[in-house]
């Protein structure tokens, strides 16, 4: 029932910007934390940024000062504004939701989007 759908990925030149969006649907009451992870070919999936329901944020060192995560709790949507993009940012970006609450209670496992490709050319 709960689904996450990402949008906003694409091809951009180094130094450019992209804004990713992820909307959660499925009669959701609340989501404790939402975030973005990325995975490049041959590398492990890594956390990029997270934001809690209360607005606390965390960023990977590699993106601090360049990326900004935000969310709209009313719309169960999380955003990732990516500025000053580098070729090293090229990866599949996945939306993540933890502590999803529906009428059935709180889910004990994470929900993931299908991913959106971000390619940064030099």
Helices (H) then strands (E): counts for the chain: 0, 12
Q: Token pair of 89, please?
A: 């940012």
Query: Is the pLDDT assigned to residue 1 strictly greater than 90?
Result: no
Concatenated DSSP letters of 11-63:
EEETT--EEEEEEEESS--EEEEEEEEEE-TTS--EEEEEEETT--EEE-GGG
Query: What are the tens digits of pLDDT across the range 10-52?
Result: 999 999 999 999 999 999 999 999 999 999 999 999 999 999 9
User: Looking at the chain, how many residues does it have?
Assistant: 122
Query: What are the tens digits of pLDDT across the range 57-89?
Result: 999 999 999 999 999 999 999 999 999 999 999
Q: Token pair of 74, please?
A: 């009313």
């Amino acid at each position: 029932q709960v689904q996450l759908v990402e949008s906003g990925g694409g091809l951009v030149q180094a130094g450019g910007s992209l804004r990713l969006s992820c909307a959660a649907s499925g009669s959701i009451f609340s989501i404790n934390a939402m975030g973005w992870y990325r995975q490049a070919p041959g590398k492990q999936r890594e956390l990029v940024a997270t934001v809690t329901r209360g607005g606390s944020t965390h960023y990977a060192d590699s993106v601090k000062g360049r990326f900004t995560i935000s969310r709209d709790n009313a719309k169960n949507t999380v955003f990732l504004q990516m500025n000053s993009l580098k070729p090293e940012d090229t990866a599949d970006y996945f939306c993540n939701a933890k502590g999803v609450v529906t009428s059935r209670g709180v889910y004990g496992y994470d929900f993931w989007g299908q991913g959106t490709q971000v390619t940064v050319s030099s």
